[in-house]
Amino acid sequence: MTTDSPLRIDHWIGNAPVASAARDEVRDPGRLADVVGLVARGGTYEVDLAVRAAAEAFKTWRETPVETRAALLRQAADLLEAEAPAVVGLMARESGMLVGTNTAEIGMAANIVRDNAEAGAAFLAPEAYEDAESWVGVEKRPIGVIAAIVPWNAPIILAMRKVSPALVCGNTVVVKPAPTAPIGLSLLLEKMAALFPPGVINVVHGGAEVGRALATHPLVGKVSFTGGGTVARAIMKDAAEGLKGVQFELGGNDPAIILEDADLDLAIPRIVGGAFRRSGQFCFAVKRVYAPSSLYDEVVARIRAEVDKFRVGHPLEQGVTFGPINNAGQYRALQGLLARTRASGATVEELGSWVSEKSEADGYYMRPVLVSDIDPEAELVQVEQFGPLLPVVRYDDLDAVIDSINAGELGLGSSIWTRDTSRAVAVARELETGMTFVNNAGTSRLGQKNIPFGGVKQSGIGRESSPIGLREYIDYHAINYHR
């Protein structure tokens, strides 16, 4: 039994819908009987159609003054906010994320678009150098067609981190949404695309075949991908055929390090929010907590009390504060990790309460899990779980904690919790991560605007957001005039 008739979602190419003979069901992860949408399944034909439309639009879009491009993006940001009420419930049904979370996501995405629009003109201004012998000019030029491959967990934000800098720099885009959460993003992109000339924004749906066709298409200049390392490696190999650039924002195993002087009244709610928002399904979520022995029992008790407040259920149910896992593959992986953690001898507590009792037949539901008395080298501590399982690790030697963190292959985000600013900065500088947050588990508004978002090692290539993120979408052209 479904709650609404399924929406039919087509590709969007050249500001017009394009259907495919085959369609894929998108089911509600919290009500598996509910088919939310029937989404066109693309392949190499649709990719070629979209890329050629984008390449044709690029010829004139690149010549459009940056002030005009920025003005259109500001209109797009306003449109995102205006359209939010129409899509946030639908997004909850396709992704399992809470309606309030989706509303906040669209607001953040609108700010990302505005930030890139604001930064564009100054960033793209040419540079000039001169001496008695010659003059040198350095210009920044758009690359061409950008393939933007977006995941399911925060699709609006993650799409706008790619689309808005690409467009303000004069590129055109082909967006591939995630197969398990394509609907809300697609509807918003269609509305946005209507503000721009045909072919500037295009959308093609599908799975691995579409991703590979984008990565290998000769008219695609760069691939920007957010997701997992396995897929990123496949894209990189495909892109290598044409020596095209890649930008990857990948996973993290983000540690929260509590120091002895931390304000636990402030820290614990923020750590729990940073770990369990989106049911733990976001790249820079707190994945593991390190607490000194002197505070360990208190930290565990406080986290337990905070996590136990969650109310688990479908995101459209009254009173729910914790939704389901997005898809079957991720749910099975988390269940396997939970079973192995139980078998390891660690203390495992399933917390929170059901708003209404759920079974596996209803959806991909998990209660939030707190794990204590766990070995620092245990699997749950050393991998990115991407779900609601939080280990708390006891430590006596901070240097050993830093060494263990730095020995890992991931390095996206980290957080430090202390009243001592200078010590926080000193510890942060020892961590091999792309970002460190002090006394919070994410960016402030100032940080959203200015932090080059991304990681080191296996957590990615390149950066998103801030003026530095604009560099991903330009080529340089230099002129040296000899006197």
Specify burial of residue 481 (Cβ count, 10 A radius: 0-12, 13-18, 19+).
exposed
Strand partners of residue 141: 475
**Catalytic hit among 94, 105, 249, 472:** 249
**283 a catalytic residue:** yes
209 part of the active site = no
State CA 176 to chain mean position distance. Answer: 14
Q: Which residues does 302 contact at the CB level (< 8 Å), separation at least 6?
A: 264, 268
Asked if residue 412 lies in contact with residue 452, where contact means CB atoms within 8 angstroms, the answer is no
| Contact present, 44 and 213 (Cβ < 8 Å) | yes
Contact between 88 and 323 (Cβ < 8 Å): no
**CA-closest candidate to residue 15, choices 235, 189, 164, 261:** 189
Report how far residue 434's alpha carbon sits from residue 411's, in angstroms, rounded to the nearest whole number. Answer: 6
CA distance 367 to 322: 8
The residue annotated as part of the active site, out of 283, 306, 384, 464, is 283
**What does the DSSP 8-state code read for residue 358?**
-
Dist. CA 447–CA 456, nearest whole Å: 18
Angle between helices 155-168 and 183-193 (to 10 degrees): 30
Backbone angles phi, psi at 135, to 5 degrees: -125, 140
Residues noted as catalytic: 249, 283
